[in-house]
Amino acid sequence: MSAQAHVKKPGWITNKVFNPFVAFLTRRGLSVWGSRVLAVRGRKSGEWRTTPVNLLTVDGRQYLVAPRGHVQWTHNMRAAGGGRLLLGKRVDTFTAEEVADSEKPELLRAYLKRWKAEVGVFFNGVGPDSPEEDLRRIAPNHPVFRVTIEP
């Protein structure tokens, strides 16, 4: 099965109400549970593309997790190798390194502990209390990037 087969398209409410509302608040400096606006250059156009994301911190390291799977921002991130995280007027430029599937279970568990109510539907019944084998099974479907903020 191709990576695209695992993409979960957001519903109308998410696309038209929730994401724009979170992005609106985040652009004004109000982080909603770690929200940021991700800006990454398009791999074909070179134009800046933005989307709201949840910035996960585990053991002092920061990560971006793609709950909906291999979507446009993940393809752009692979090509660009980094981007910007926006919170109000604050702009953090970062580099990104994709995390290997074998490292993802701990990160997916932490992500689901924090945001399951918001994104749990995209993980096919796997939650923060699921067995390790379930997290390993879904790991290839959810890109994770380790973020390093540039000084």
From residue 29, give the alpha-carbon distance in Å to each of 13, 36, 40, 138: 23, 9, 19, 33
> How many CB atoms are closer than 10 A to CB 115?
18
The pair of structure tokens assigned to 44 is 């074909």
Q: Where are the domains of the chain?
A: 3-149
Enclosing H/E stretch for 57: strand 48-58
Amino acid at 114: R
Residues 6+ apart with CB under 8 A from 50: 23, 37, 38, 39, 86
More confident residue, 40 or 16: 40
Q: How much is the pLDDT for 26?
A: 63
Q: Are residues 67 and 123 in contact, defined by beta-carbon separation less than 8 angstroms? A: yes
Q: Are residues 109 and 74 in contact, defined by beta-carbon separation less than 8 angstroms? A: no
The per-residue DSSP string of 101-125 comes to GGGHHHHHHHHHHHHHHHHGGGGTT
More confident residue, 8 or 40: 40
User: Model confidence at 16, in pLDDT bands (50, 70, 90)?
Assistant: low
Tell me the CATH number for domain 3-149: 2.30.110.10
Mean pLDDT, all residues of the chain: 87
Average pLDDT for residues 49-77, to the nearest whole number?
Answer: 95
User: Model confidence at 35, in pLDDT bands (50, 70, 90)?
Assistant: confident
pTM: 0.82
Average pLDDT for residues 61-83, to the nearest whole number?
Answer: 97
Question: Angle at Cα 131 formed by Cα 130 and Cα 134, nearest 5°?
Answer: 85
User: Model confidence at 4, in pLDDT bands (50, 70, 90)?
Assistant: very low
Q: How much is the pLDDT for 6?
A: 54
The pair of structure tokens assigned to 64 is 């971006």
Distance (Å, whole) CA 119 – CA 65: 11
